[in-house]
Structure 1
Amino acid sequence: MDKRYCHYHSAQPATWHCQPCERHYGDCCIPLNADAPEYAPACPLCRGHLRFLGAANTAQPFWERLPNFFAYGFQAGPLAFCALLALACVFMPAVFLLWIALLSVATKYLHSVIEAASFGSQDAPGLLEAFSADSLRTFFQQLAVFLIALVLLWLAADFHSEVIYWAANIAIVLVLPASIIRLSLDKSLGAALSPGEVGQVIAAMGWRYLILCAFLFILWQSPTYVGWLLSHGLPRVVMVPVVAGLTGYFSVVMCAMMGYAVFQYQGELGYVSAGDDAPAGFAAPEWHRRKALAEAEVRVKEGQTGAALEILVAALREGRQDLKLNERYHQLLFALGERAECLNHLPHYLGLASRLNPHLAASAFLNARQLQADYLPEDPAVCERIAEVLIERHKAREGLSLLRNLHKRFPEYPGIPRAYLMAARAFSEELGQVQPAQQLLAFIRQRYPAFEQMGEVVQLESVLAKLDKKSG
C-alpha cells in the first residue's frame, strides 16, 4: 500500500481521514489533547468524525529496523525464553509429555511476540505469559499447519518431478510466514489455512513480502551455521544448549520482524494501532493554541479566509499574549488587505513581538508602513527595538524614522540617549552622514551628561572628527 500524506502538508504522513471531505490529515493538522484523552478529533472543515489511520503511514519500513529486531531479543522475556530452551536440552528428561509442554510454551511465547509487535510495542512480552491454558491449543494448531505443509510437500514429491517438487517447496516456504502471522493474530486454524486470509497478508505487503521472507530464511539458517562452526571446538554437552539458546533468540527476532511487518501494513490488514512512537497530546492551553493555528491554516488553504479570521479571533480571546496566534492573525489581515483591523491590532502585536521576537516586530512594522506611510508605534521601547533590528538589516532609513524626534515624542523615556547613540552610528556607518551623527552625539553630551555609555559617545565623536577633517 502506498503511503498517504497530509492533504495540506505533503511531507507529513497522514494519521486521520475524513470520508465526506475526502481529506487526509497529519498530526500537524490534528493535535491531540493530553488532558482529555477521550476527546475525539473532528474534521477542521465539516466538523464530522475522523477515522484514525494509526501508524499505517508513519511506521518505519521493517528493513530499516534490523538493529531494533536484534536488540529486541536481548530483553528480559526473550533471554528467559532462550535460557529455558538451553536448560531443557541439558536437564529435562526424555519424557514425551514434558517435551510437548515445552514446545507448547515455546509456540505460545513466539506467537505472543508476533501479536505484541503487531501493535507497535517495542517491549517484548514476559515468559510467564506463555504459561497459559491455551498454549497447548496454540501448539497443536501450529503443528497442524506444519503437518499440512509436509503433506503437500510429500504429495509434490510423489509426482517424481523436480520442477513440481521445488515449485511446491518454494511456494510453501513463501506462504508459511503469512500463515503463521494469521494464526498468531486471529488464533484460528481456519484463518491460517484460508487462501484468502493468507493471501491478504501477502497482498498487503506486496513485493516487500519477498524481502521479509528473505530475511526470515537467513535468520532461520543462522543457528545451523553457528552450530556447525561450534561443532569443531566444543563438546556436545556445551554445544547443544548453546544452539538451543541461539535457536530461541533467532526465533524471537524472526517473530518480532513478522509482527512489525503487520504493524507497518496495518491499514490493508484491517488493524489500527499507533504504536509506542505515537506522538503524545498537548496540555489544554497548548492544544487550544495548536488547534486554532492548524484549523486556520486549513481554512486559508481552502480559500476560506473569513472562517480563518474567526478562528484566530476566538483563539486570541483566551490567548491574547500568544505570539504565534498574533503573528498569524497579523499576517492574514495584511495579506487580505484589512487595513483598519490590521492597524488596530498592530499596537498590541508590536509590543508583544518586540519583547519576544524583535525580528517579527520589524517585519510587521514594514507591513504597517505599506498600509500607512507615516505609521509610528506608540511605545518608545518598541520604536527602539524595531529600529535596532532594521539597522542591523541595513534598512537604516526605516530604522532612523522610528527614532526621529524621540525626545519630543516621549520626553520621559529613559532610553533616549541609548537610542540616539544607535542613530548616530546608523547615520555614520550606514548612510555616511557625519553631521547628523555629530549633532546627535552633542545632544547626548548636553542633555544626558551622566549617560553610562558616555565613553562610547566620546570614542565615536573622535572617529567622526577625523572623518570630518579628511572630507574637509
Structure 2
Amino acid sequence: MDKQHCHYHQAQPATWHCAPCERHFGDCCVPLNADVPEYAPSCPLCRGQLRYLGAANSAEPFWERLPKFFAYALQPGPLMFAGALALASLFMPSVLVFWLALLSIATKYLHSVIEQASLGSNDAPSLAEAFDGSSFGAFLRQLGVFGVAMVLLWLAADFESPPLFWSVNVALVLVLPASIIRLALDKSLGAALSPAEVGQVIAAMGWRYLILCLFLFILWQSPSYLAWLLGFGLPRVVLLPVLALLFGYFGVVMCAMMGYAVFQYQGALGYVVAGDDAAQGFPEAEWRRRKALAEAEVRVKEGQGGAAVEILSSALRQDPEDLRLNERYHQLLYVLNERGDCLAHLPGYLALACRSNPQLAANAFLNARQLQADFLPDDPLICERIAGVLLDRHKTREGLSLLRNLHQRFPQYPHGARAYLLAARGFAEGLGQADAAGKLLAFIRQRYPESPLLGEVEALERVLARMAAQGS
C-alpha cells in the first residue's frame, strides 16, 4: 500500500483524513493539545470530524530497522526468556508434561512479542506475561497450525511428485508467517487457517511480504549455522544450552519483525495505532499558536486569504504578545496588500519585535515603506533600533531616514546623542560622507554637551581627520 502524505506538505506523512474535503493532513497541520488529552481535532477547512490514521503513513519500513530488532531482543524480558530455554535444556528432566509446559510458555511469550510490536511499542514484554491461563491454549492453536501444514506436506509427498512436493513446501514457508501473525493477534485458529484472513496480511504488504519471509528464513537458519560453527570446539553439554539460547534470542527477533510489519501496514489491515514514536501534544499556549498558524497556512494554500487573516486575528486577540503570530499576521496582510490593516497593526508589532527580534522589526519597516513611502515609527527607540539593524545590513539610506531630525520629532528623547552618533557612523562608513558625519558630531557636542558619549564622538572625529588627511 502506498503511503499517503499531507496534502499541504508533501514531505510529511499523513496522520489524519477528512472524507468530505478529500484531504489528508499531517501532524504539521493538526497539532494536538497535551493539556486536553481527550481533544478531538477538527478539519481546518470544514470543521468536520477527522479520521485518525495512526502511524500507517509514518512507520519506518521494517527492513530499515534490522539493527533495532536485534537490540529489541537484548532487553531484560527476551534475555530472561532465552536464558530460561537454555537452563531448561540443561536441567529439565525428560518428562513430556514438563516439555509441553515449556513449549506453551515459549509460544505465549513469542505471541506476546508479536502483539506488543504490532502496537508500535519499543519495549519488549516481560517474561511474566507468558505465565497466564491462556498459554496452553495458544500452544494448542499454534500446534494446530503446524499440524495442518504437516498434513498438507504429507499429502503432497503422497503424490510422489517432487515438483508438487516442493511447490507445497515453498508455499507453506511463505504462508506460515502470515498465519502466525493472525494467530498471535486474533487468537483464533480459524483466522490463522482462513485463506481470506491470511491473504489479507499478505496483500497488505504486497511484494514486501517476500522481503519479510526472506529475512525470517535467514533468521530461522542462523542459530543452526552458529551452533554448527561452535560445535567444532564445544562439548555437547555446553552446545545444547547455547543452541537453546540462540533459538530463543532469534525467535524474539523474528517475532518482533513480524509484529512491526503489522504496525507498518496497519492501515491496510484495519488497525489504527500511533506507536511510541507518535507526535506528542503541545501545552495550551503553544497549541493555540501552532493551530492558528497551521490553519492559516491551509487557508492561504486554498486561496482563502481573508479566512486566514481572520484566523490569525482571532488568535492574536487571545495572545497579543505572541511574536510568531504577529509576524505571520503582518506578512499575510502585506502579501494580500491590505494596506490599512497592515499599517494599523505595525505600531504594536514593531514594539514587540524590537524587544524580541529587531531583525523582524527591520523587515516589517521595509515592507511598510512599500505601502507608504514616508512611513516612520512613532517611537524614537524603535527608530534607533531599526536604524542600527539596517545600517548593519548596509541599507544605509533607509536606516538614516529613521534618524533624520530625530531631536525635532522627539525633543524629549533621552538618547538623542546615541542616535546621532549612530547616524554619523552611517554617513562615514556607509556613504563615505565625512563632511556630513563631522557636522553631526559637532551637533552632538553643541546640543548634548553633558553626554557620556563625547569620548566616542572625539574618537570618531580623529578617525575622520585621518581620513581627510589621507584623502588630501
Q: What is the TM-score with the length of structure 2 in the denominator?
A: 0.98
Partner of 1:227: 227
Aligned CA-pair RMSD: 1.3
Paired residue for 2:395? 395
Q: How does 1:248-327 map to 2 (within 5 A)?
A: 248-327=248-327
Cα distance between partner residues in 1 of 2:416 and 2:137: 86
Q: d(CA) in 1 for partners of 2:408 and 2:127?
A: 81
Instruction: Give the match for residue 141 of structure 2.
Output: 141
The amino acid across from 2:385 in the alignment is R
Query: What is the CA-CA distance between 1:407 and the residue it aligns to?
Result: 1.8
Q: CA offsets per residue over residues 213-264 of structure 1, 9 Å max, x none?
A: 1111111111101111111111111111111011100000100011001101
CA gap 1:451/1:206 in 2 versus in 1, 3 angstroms: farther
| Residue number in structure 2 paired with 1:61 | 61
TM-superposed CA distance for 1:171, in Å, is 1.1
Q: C-alpha distance in 2, partners of 1:453/1:235? A: 90
Tell me the residue number matched to 1:411: 411
Between stretches 435-444 and 262-271, larger displacement belongs to 435-444
Residue in 1 that maps onto 2:214: 214
1:454 Cα offset (Å) = 3.8
Shift of 1:449: 4.3
Once the two structures are superposed, residues 266-306 of structure 1 have per-residue CA deviations (whole angstroms, 9 ceiling, x without a partner) of 00000000000111111111111111111111111111122
Q: TM-score, normalised by structure 1?
A: 0.98
2:185 aligned with 1:153, yes or no?
no
Q: Which amino acid aligns with 2:266?
A: Q
Please give the alpha-carbon distance, in whole angstroms, between the structure 1 residues aligned to 2:221 and 2:211: 16
Partner in structure 2 of residue 163 of structure 1: 163
Q: Counterparts of 1:451 and 1:116 in 2: how far apart (Å)? A: 73
Alpha-carbon separation, structure 2, partners of 1:56 and 1:454: 68
Structure 1 residue identity aligned to 2:371: L
Instruction: Check if 1:7 corresponds to 2:7.
Output: yes
Which whole-Å CA distance do the structure 1 matches of 2:165 and 2:358 have between them?
76
Q: CA deviation at 1:207?
A: 1.2
**Residues 412-452 of structure 1: per-residue CA shift (max 9 Å, x gap):** 32332222222112111111111111112222233334544
Deviation at 1:334, TM superposition (A): 1.2
Worse-matched range after superposition: 346-355 or 150-159: 150-159
Shift of 1:453: 4.2
Counterpart in the other structure of 1:420: 420
Deviations 1:140-169 (A, max 9, x none): 111111111112122222222222222211
* Residues in 2 aligned to 1:398 and 1:67: alpha-carbon distance in whole angstroms: 58
Could you say what secondary structure the match of 1:43 adopts?
coil
- Counterparts of 1:451 and 1:145 in 2: how far apart (Å)? 93
Residue 97 of structure 2 is matched in structure 1 by 97
3-state SS of the aligned residue for 1:146?
helix
Q: Report what 2:464 is aligned to.
A: 464
Find the aligned partners of 2:452 and 2:66 in 1 and give their Cα distance. Answer: 64
Deviation at 1:43, TM superposition (A): 0.5
**For the residues of structure 1 that align with 2:201 and 2:451, how far apart are their CA atoms?**
79
State the distance in 2 between where 1:32 and 1:62 align: 27
CA distance in 2, matches of 1:226, 1:260: 26
Residue in structure 2 matched with residue 355 of structure 1 by the alignment: 355
Structure 1 unpaired stretches of 5+: none
Residue 471 (structure 1) shift? 3.5
CA distance in 1, matches of 2:48, 2:234: 67
Deviation per CA, 1:296-328, whole angstroms, max 9, x where unpaired? 111111111221111111111110000111111
Task: Please say which of residues 301-310 and 103-112 is displaced more in the overlay.
Answer: 301-310
Residues in 1 aligned to 2:251 and 2:116: alpha-carbon distance in whole angstroms: 15
Give the counterpart letter for 1:253 in structure 2: V
**Structure 2 CA distance for aligned equivalents of residues 276 and 419 of structure 1:** 55
Per the alignment, in what secondary structure is the counterpart of residue 2 of structure 2?
coil
Give the % identical residues: 72
The aligned counterpart of 1:184 is 184
- Provide, for residues 184-207 of structure 1, a one-character-per-residue CA deviation record: whole Å limited to 9, x for no partner: 111111111111111111111111
Equivalent residue, structure 2, for 1:429: 429
**Quick one: distance in 1 between partners of 2:3 and 2:355?**
43
Q: Secondary structure at the match of 1:17?
A: strand
Aligned to 2:338: 338
Q: For 1:176 and 1:252, how far apart are their aligned partners in 2?
A: 16
Alignment-mate amino acid for residue 460 of structure 2: L
Aligned mates of 2:362, 2:245 — CA distance in 1: 67
Judged with a 3 Å threshold, the aligned counterparts in structure 2 of structure 1 residues 215 and 452 are, in CA distance, closer, same or farther, namely: farther
1:104 is paired with a residue whose SS is: helix
Matched residue pairs, number? 472
Note the alpha carbon deviations across 1:34-74, whole angstroms, 9 max, x for none.
11111111101111110000001111111111111111111
Shift of 1:458: 2.4
Shift in Å, 1:384: 1.2
Tell me the distance in 2 between the aligned counterparts of 1:42 and 1:328.
Answer: 22
